[in-house]
Structure 1
């Protein structure tokens, strides 16, 4: 059976996928979103935080932003799974400047978390109403905080407003070579304090966040049929090799392989 990836209908909040891999899926990589999902069949095995994990039906995977992981089949029959990718900025709108919830093992057996993901991990043809999706995201963020067991009342000071302004400035400057100095001047916050808060509140560094948004543009361009070099230039990367290195580091496969799998998925629909 061929490997495949299917993408859900457009959602204004999250990315949803379902995929099947017969053997090896992804090289070690990381992304700047929460990756939350469940294995539908087979055994989904991956290295995470120094240990080899095994996800099976009934469990919930919660991979923290910027935590390196890979993926392969833990059985001879391959594995099928659904995943949602949620930007930390969305979670922050609900927890309002507190540290992001963290599930150390990457896999949870907690029934509260399994129930909280039911709505968002429905079959990909299901289209959410706006309020339904927002309510489901709020419920999930709340349960993540409960299950993580973090003490969210610690006496730390985080400038969420400044970090959010920096995030918005990055979105407006994807075609430019900006620096922490530019962020400091435009946000009016000490660069090192801003960098610390950005990492804590959005799960990754300002530069990594900017790179990820450019890679989002690359993926959109490739799906639309654009060539690799044109997608690279449109997204603001220096050159194709520069983009490809970041692509593999982030998604665990080359841009050509990613495009090939998605083209196969489109033909099968």
Structure 2
């Protein structure tokens, strides 16, 4: 028997028998994701599945990377955003499972080709398939190299470029809805969420601080 508290992470291997019950009469809630084991192994280059002793973890690294999947229950994820999150999850599982990492060589030219493609796309939605093709590097090695060389994931890098584009448009007089769509976001709320996460304030508040007027179109 194992006991988990709010904020903990349960990690179960495929086909592992288990059950669960509330520790008190107040009941309990949880959110769950299923990940194909082969995806984790592909990301880790064929290594065995990371093992979490006791199946429970309070390591904050796991909780942090799982936030993206938890929010996807309420808001859709773009394909590249999901693949980024899978990469981060595999790395966190590997780290928390105490797997030793050897030194790896990075392909700078391949990462640069991917980054140039992102810039040329000007905010458009991009998949890891596309980046794999233009870079000539397999997707998970490219994801690893991109993080190591540029300090962020491909999806977060694209998001920052979209935010750069949105800010230029807003300063140029675009309303919030049009700027969001033109910069490659699903809608205004999608842009607002990433803007808040990156800069700590809403686009409207940012414009207000600059003395600019904001316009929002309400659609029924």
What TM-score, normalized by structure 1, do the two folds share? 0.40
Question: Would you tell me which structure has more helix in proportion to its own residues?
Answer: 2
* Higher RCO (CA < 8 A, seq sep 6+): 1
What TM-score, normalized by structure 2, do the two folds share? 0.48
Instruction: Compare CA radii of gyration and give the structure with the larger one.
Output: 2
Question: Would you tell me which structure has more strand in proportion to its own residues?
Answer: 1
